[in-house]
Chains A and B, each alone.
Chain A
């Protein structure tokens, strides 16, 4: 994981520490966790993205290549974080992948309406989960061409 907050490739927003560890482990296996920052709820995520609060020193123009966003989190949930990212001119181009445990259709519909780039249901089975995470990481970090800074 990286301490330079201006070179972040993956922003992981996940309140469940076990899920976070499993995600990071899966990304490490495909060498994608070197530039990863893990924030633990929606408030922290917004502070990072908009370079406020504890992340006030960060340069906001250095946007991550992808944000992996959980939905169900205390304080501010993932849907609200998504709404704020996608309604801001500076941040709306950041690819956001919702990763959630529930297949709830209304979450899927709302997320796409708000402009989510991908919606992934976390498989319970760890092998499928690890595979989904590493493929996802490879696609967004290595294959996808982000907008020019």
Chain B
């Protein structure tokens, strides 16, 4: 047993010697041993490599040899030793110089070694060249700063583009309406004052002009509400969907023959969102349902919800003209239509607007249909946005 313990101690000693040798040969760290006053008593290969002095050149020099004149004048070498003495270990980063004067970023750990009486026996001074790391950090910071600048510049650009768009839609709103009103107005004058002089074809042509001015007026209005809706921030309130749907249907049926429609409205759960925006969604979906069923002998529209594991999915189902799912990708596009103007009138903005609004609420909208067999549109708005 005794033998084996000795053997273990012996082994430990050897390990430590090996470790020490590795340490001395280690080129990444400059390991200097200083006496209690700060004079260099030994240093390793790493120190030679990092500082560029030979052992003969540096032994017995004071550690202040590696400090700049300014640091020496401030008493920093003494202060560092004092800090190490008081705290046992003192670490700092500084700029050190190689023998040829090349500066490098250094991380230095100064450790005090105490003798048996608690006095300072020596110091270990371990320095690492962290220039590469520092350079990377600086480059990183520079890149971050540049990125921030870029984001700022881009945000500013976007604000300008937004302003321009606002000016554009203002201009569209004003400048397109004015000539349109002239076309409509003068056609009307022609009709009022000269209708008796026109034959049937002349009257027909005049009516086509008038119908088209009405159509273009609607297009401009839809386009404007579309661009406006895109600019507006949605407010979030609790919305009574039943009330909104009732009022939409009431408004929509003013223009229609009410009795012909069979409209079923199931109770709808409340929702959180922007009331005027979501009203627009209902107007467009229910409006479409009424429009595309108008040519059926028994037009039916159903409004309700499906509970999909806590998600309230609202739907509007009709038995109208429907559409071919082949063209589904066009369905929500701006100015996209799946029916001809002489079949069903429209501007091609209704569903695009509905989608824009639902997206603004982080929700989803989709539809399914087949030609002649009606269409169903679904949307849901997340409860917490």
Contact = CB atoms under 8 A, between A and B. Distances in A.
Interface string A120-145: 00111111011000000000000000
Interface in A75-112: 100-104
A101 B188 contact: no
B213 A124 contact: yes
Contact of A19 (B181, B220, B224): B181
A42 B132 CA distance: 69
A60 B216 CA distance: 43
A40 interface: no
B106 to A, nearest CB: 62
A16 to B, nearest CB: 6
Contacts of A16: 178, 182
Interface in B194-217: 213-214, 216-217
A18 interface: yes
Contacts of A126: 181, 184-185, 187-188
A18 B186 CA distance: 8
A35 interface: no
A98 to B, nearest CB: 13
> Chain B's interface: helix, strand, loop or mixed, by majority?
helix
B98 interface: no
A58 interface: no
A1 interface: no
Interface residues of B, number: 22
Given A125-B213, A125-B214, A104 B170 contact: yes
A29 B217 CA distance: 25
A122 B181 contact: yes
Contacts of A102: 170, 173-174, 177
A16 B184 CA distance: 15
B24 interface: no
A18 B170 contact: no
B181 A124 contact: yes
A125 B177 contact: no
Interface in B211-240: 213-214, 216-217, 220, 224
A124 B180 contact: yes
Contacts of A122: 177, 181
Interface string A16-43: 1011011001000000000000000000
Interface of B: 170, 173-175, 177-182, 184-189, 213-214, 216-217, 220, 224
25 contacts: A16-B178, A18-B178, A18-B179, A18-B181, A19-B178, A25-B189, A71-B174, A101-B174, A101-B177, A101-B181, A102-B170, A102-B173, A102-B174, A102-B177, A122-B177, A123-B181, A124-B180, A124-B184, A125-B213, A125-B217, A126-B184, A127-B188, A129-B181, A129-B184, A129-B185
Interface of A: 16, 18-19, 21-22, 25, 71-72, 100-104, 122-127, 129-130
Which 10 pairs from chain A and chain B are nearest by CB? A124-B217, A18-B182, A126-B188, A102-B173, A101-B177, A22-B185, A102-B174, A126-B185, A126-B184, A101-B174
